[in-house]
A and B are shown apart, each in its own frame.
Chain A
Amino acid sequence: MAIVNLQNVTYRYPLTDESVLKNINLQVDEGEFLAVIGPNGSGKSTLCYTLAGFVPHFFKGEISGSVEVAGLESSASTLDEWVMNVGLAFQNPFNQISGAKFTVFEEIAFGLENIGVPREEMKPRVEDAMKLTGITDLADRSPYSLSGGQQQRVALTSILVMQPKVLVLDEPTSQLDPIGTREVFGVIRTLAEKGMTVILAEHKVEWIANFADRVIALHEGQIILDGLPGEVLTSDILLEKGFGISRYTSVARKARAIGLWKNSNLPVTLDEAVDGFKR
Chain B
Amino acid sequence: MQERLSFYKKRESAVHRLNPLSKLTLALGIVFVSFLSPYYWTPHLLILFAVIPLSLLGKVLREYINAMLRLILPTAGFLFIMQALFQPLEGVELFRFGFLHPTQESVLFAFANATRIVVMVSSFTIFLLTTHPNELMTDLTRRGLPGQFAYVIISTLQIIPQMQAKAQTIIAAQRSRGLDTESTFFKRAGSLIPLVGPLVFGSLVEVEERAIAIEARGFTSTRVKTSLNSIPDTNKDKLIRWSLIVIIIVTLASRIWLS
Contact = CB atoms under 8 A, between A and B. Distances in A.
Interface of A: 49, 52, 54, 58, 79-80, 83-84, 87-90, 92, 94-102, 105-106, 109-119, 122-123, 126, 142, 144-145, 155, 158-159, 162
Contact of B217 (A83, A102, A105, A123): A83
Q: Is the interface of A mostly helix, strand, loop or mixed?
A: helix
- A-B CB proximity, top 9 nearest: A111-B217, A99-B155, A114-B218, A116-B223, A95-B209, A96-B213, A109-B228, A115-B218, A88-B216
B217 A158 contact: yes
A101 B217 contact: no
What size tier do the contact residues of chain B reach?
Answer: 35 or more
Nearest to B229: A106
Interface string B150-189: 1100110011001000000000000000000000000000
Contact of A122 (B3, B132, B162, B226): B226
B233 interface: no
Contacts of B213: 90, 95-98, 155
A116 B151 contact: no
Contacts of A89: 216
Contacts of B132: 102
B134 A102 contact: yes
13 contacts: A52-B216, A54-B215, A79-B220, A90-B209, A98-B210, A99-B210, A100-B154, A110-B214, A114-B219, A115-B223, A116-B224, A142-B3, A145-B3
B218 A80 contact: yes
Contacts of A102: 4, 132, 134, 158
Contact of B159 (A84, A87, A96, A99): A99
B235 interface: no
Contact of A84 (B134, B150, B218): B218
B212 interface: yes
